[in-house]
Chains A and B, each alone.
Chain A
Amino acid sequence: MKNAARRIYIALIFIFMYAPIATLGVLSFNASKSRAKWGGFTVKWYVSLFENEEIMRALWNTLSIALISSLVATVVGTISCIAIQSMKKKGRAIVMGVTNIPMLNADIVTGISLMLLFIVLGIRLGFFTILLSHITFNIPYVILSVMPRMKQLNPSVYEAALDLGASHVQAFFKVIFPDILPGVLSGFLMAFTMSLDDFIITYFTKGPGIDTLSTKIYTEVRKGIKPEMYALSTIIFVVVLVLLFLVNRTPKDKPAK
Chain B
Amino acid sequence: MKKLFSLVLCLVTTACLFAGCGSSDKYPNGKVYVYNWGEYIDEETIKLFEKETGIEVIYDEFDTNETMYPKIEAGASNYDVVCPSDYMIQKMIDNDLLAELNWDNLPNARANIGAEYYEQSLAFDPGNLYSVPYCWGTVGILYNTTMVDEPVTSWSILWDETYKDSILMQDSVRDLFMVALKELGYSMNSTNESELQEAKELLIAQKPLVQAYVIDQVRDKMIGDEAAIGVIYSGEAIYTQRENPNLAYVIPEEGTNIWIDSWVIPKNAENKENAEKFIDFMCRGDIALMNFEFITYSTPNTAARDLIEDDDIRNSEIAFPDLSKYDKLETFSYLGEEADTLYNNLWKEIKSYTSY
Which A residues fall within an 8 A CB radius of B? Answer: 32-37, 50, 53-54, 56-57, 59-60, 63-64, 66-67, 115, 118-119, 124-125, 181-182, 185, 188-189, 192, 207-209, 211, 218-224, 226, 236, 239-240, 243-244, 247, 250, 256
Chain A residues within an 8 Å CB radius of B63: 218-219, 221-223
Main secondary structure of the interface of A (DSSP, over half): helix
| Known contacts A56-B18, A211-B60: A222-B10 contact under CB 8 Å | no
> How far apart are the CA atoms of A37 and B58 in the complex, in Å?
33
Q: Does A54 contact B219, Cβ atoms closer than 8 Å?
A: no
Q: Select B59's contact among A209, A239, A256, beta carbons within 8 Å.
A: A209
CB A28 to nearest CB in B, in angstroms, measures 16
Contact present for A222 and B18 (CB under 8 Å): no
Interface residues on B, range: 35 or more
- Does B35 interact with chain A (Cβ within 8 Å)? yes
Q: Choose the segment among B142-150, B201-209, B221-229, B318-326 that binds chain A (4+ C-beta atoms closer than 8 Å).
A: B221-229
CB–CB A182/B19 < 8 A: no
The 24 listed contacts between A and B (C-beta, < 8 Å) are A34-B223, A35-B220, A57-B21, A57-B22, A60-B15, A119-B74, A124-B76, A125-B76, A125-B77, A189-B4, A207-B77, A208-B35, A208-B58, A209-B59, A209-B60, A218-B63, A219-B61, A222-B63, A222-B216, A223-B38, A223-B219, A239-B14, A243-B10, A256-B1
Instruction: Please give me the residue from chain B that is nearest to A211 by CB atom.
Output: B60
Given the known inter-chain contacts A182-B1, A189-B8, please indicate yes or no for A223 contacting B39, CB distance below 8 A: yes
Query: Which of A67, A115, A118, A250 has its CB near the most chain B CB atoms (within 10 A)?
Result: A67
Contact between B243 and A56, CB atoms less than 8 A apart: no
A185 contacts which of B4, B15, B224 (Cβ < 8 Å)? B4
Contacts of B74 in A (CB 8 A): 115, 119
Checking B20, B38, B224, B244 against A219 with a beta-carbon cut-off of 8 angstroms, the contacting residue is B38
Q: Which residues of chain B from 24 to 62 have any CB-CB distance to chain A below 8 Å in the complex?
A: 33, 35, 37-39, 43, 58-62
Residue of A with least CB distance to B171: A222
Q: Which residue of A lies closest to B64 (CB)?
A: A222
Tell me the nearest residue of chain B to A185, going by C-beta: B1
User: B212 an interface residue at 8 Å Cβ cutoff?
Assistant: no
**Residue of B at shortest CB range from A123?**
B76
> Is the beta-carbon distance between A208 and B19 smaller than 8 angstroms?
no
List residues of chain A with CB within 8 A of the CB of B3: 247, 250
* Residue contact A67 to B33, C-beta cutoff 8 Å: no
* Residues of B that sit less than 8 Å from A by CB: 1-5, 7-12, 14-16, 18-22, 33, 35, 37-39, 43, 58-63, 74-79, 215-217, 219-221, 223-226, 243-244
| Contact present for B58 and A34 (CB under 8 Å) | no
Smallest Cβ-Cβ distance to B1: which chain A residue: A185
Given contacts A37-B224, A208-B33, A222-B217, contact A60 B20 (CB under 8 A): yes
Name 12 extra pairs, CB < 8 A, besides A36-B223, A67-B9, A208-B58.
Answer: A56-B18, A56-B19, A63-B19, A125-B76, A182-B1, A189-B8, A219-B38, A223-B39, A226-B39, A243-B11, A244-B7, A250-B3
List of A residues within 8 angstroms of B43 by Cβ: 54
Is B79 a contact of A36 with CB atoms below 8 Å? no
User: For residue A39, which residue of chain B has the nearest CB?
Assistant: B243
On chain A, the residues within 8 Å of B4 by CB distance are: 185, 189, 247
Assembly CA distance A35 to B220 (angstroms): 7
Q: Whole-angstrom distance between the alpha carbons of A185 and B62 in the complex?
A: 37
Shortest CB–CB separation between residue B181 and chain A, in angstroms? 24
Chain B residues with Cβ below 8 Å from A185 are 1-2, 4-5
User: Among A56, A209, A218, A221, which residue has the most Cβ atoms of chain B within 10 A?
Assistant: A209
B223 touches A208 (CB 8 A): no
CB-CB < 8 A to B225: which residues of A? 36
User: Could you tell me if B11 and A59 are in contact, using CB atoms closer than 8 angstroms?
Assistant: no
User: B58 touching A36 by the CB < 8 A rule?
Assistant: no
User: From B219, which residue of chain A is reached at the shortest CB distance?
Assistant: A224
Q: Are A222 and B38 in contact (CB under 8 A)?
A: yes
Which 7 A-B residue pairings sit nearest by Cβ, starting from the closest?
Answer: A36-B224, A209-B58, A60-B19, A223-B39, A219-B38, A219-B61, A223-B38
